[in-house]
Amino acid sequence: MVRQAPPSVVTSWLRQGLRNRMCPLCRVAHKADREYIWHFYDEASNDMGVVDEVRRAYGFCAEHMEMLRRIDVEDMKTTLSISVLLADTFAGIVEQLQSLGPGSRFAPARCPACANREDHLRRNADYLLDLLATSPGYREEFEASPGLCFPHFELAWEQARTRSDRELLLAVQRDASRSLLGELREHVRKHDDKYRHEPKGPERDSWQRAIFLTTGWPPPKQSAAEPEEGP
Ligand SMILES: [Zn+2]
Ligand SMILES: [Zn+2]
């Protein structure tokens, strides 16, 4: 099987994730979310297609609605834009309810921001596997990384096209999990009265990294209200 290096323009989010020592697909998820919510916030008035999707979904899911709320209410300190956006959304919702009868099935579409995120993730899982298979530099960086969070490990595992893709994913995931286990045990050991005098080391936040590895890395600290900078 001939693997081609993905064009660098499509791997910038992944490379940022590797550089920041986090699951590179979590980085992709955060970037895709921000891009989508910002597009909705800024452009919904010119792009009724995006409003239509939200109408058919009867709003965003809780996570994406919260991102929208934070942009307007917390960061812009206004409630005007979110009210306009929700009014546009509800205009469609009211109409949809008009045509829903007691015998019809109520079937909201998926949250369009979630669908957008999944689409980005699927494509990027392929780019990641191609990047690792064709670039020894990034492969080394990945080998020394804290691994993929398990939901994204599952995705990459399912999308792996060769045995060596899976071997690499597995080796990295085993190393990452094993070394975390060592650190967690060390952290627990130092809580024992006998060892309490020992200085705490890098293992002190291992419990937090164990949460990241299981559920995914959190978005960067900066507020959701800052539009994405750079690539
Ligand atoms: Zn992840
Ligand atoms: Zn969502």
Q: Tens digit of pLDDT for each residue in 9-23?
A: 999 999 999 999 999
Dihedral of the CA atoms 149, 40, 159, 148 (nearest 10)? -10
Residue-level pLDDT at 88: 95
- Residue 221, C-beta contacts closer than 8 angstroms, at least 6 positions apart: none
- At residue 230, does pLDDT exceed 70? no
> DSSP state, 119?
H
Residue-level pLDDT at 222: 57
The mean pLDDT of 48-61, rounded to a whole number, is 96
- Nearest ligand to residue 155 Cα: 1
**CA-to-CA distance for 92 and 56, rounded, in angstroms?**
8
- Nearest ligand to residue 66 Cα: 2
- At residue 231, does pLDDT exceed 70? no
Q: Write the pLDDT tens digit of every residue in 63-73.
A: 999 999 999 99
How many angstroms separate the alpha carbon of residue 110 from the centre of ligand 1? 21
How many angstroms separate the alpha carbon of residue 189 from the centre of ligand 1? 29
- At residue 229, does pLDDT exceed 70? no
pLDDT band at 195 (very low <50, low <70, confident <90, very high): confident
Kindly list the distances between the CA atom of residue 222 and the CA atoms of 120, 218, 228, 229, in Å, as whole numbers in the listed order: 22, 11, 10, 12
**CA-to-CA distance for 50 and 113, rounded, in angstroms?**
10
**CA-to-CA distance for 207 and 204, rounded, in angstroms?**
8
Helices (H) and strands (E) in the chain, counts: 10, 0
- Nearest ligand to residue 154 Cα: 1
How many angstroms separate the alpha carbon of residue 229 from the centre of ligand 2? 22
- Nearest ligand to residue 25 Cα: 1
Tokens 């936040």 sit on residue: 205
* Mean pLDDT, rounded, of the chain: 93
How many angstroms separate the alpha carbon of residue 11 from the centre of ligand 2? 23
- Residue 29, C-beta contacts closer than 8 angstroms, at least 6 positions apart: 117, 120, 121, 216
How many angstroms separate the alpha carbon of residue 152 from the centre of ligand 1? 5
Evaluate whether 145 touches 172 at the Cβ level (below 8 Å): yes
**CA-to-CA distance for 175 and 170, rounded, in angstroms?**
9
- Nearest ligand to residue 54 Cα: 2
Tell me the whole-structure pTM to 2 decimals. 0.91
**CA-to-CA distance for 186 and 184, rounded, in angstroms?**
5
- Nearest ligand to residue 29 Cα: 1
Per the structure block, which two tokens stand in for 170? 């597995």
- At residue 160, does pLDDT exceed 80? yes
CB atoms within 10 A of CB 10: 14
- Residue 150, C-beta contacts closer than 8 angstroms, at least 6 positions apart: 213, 214, 215
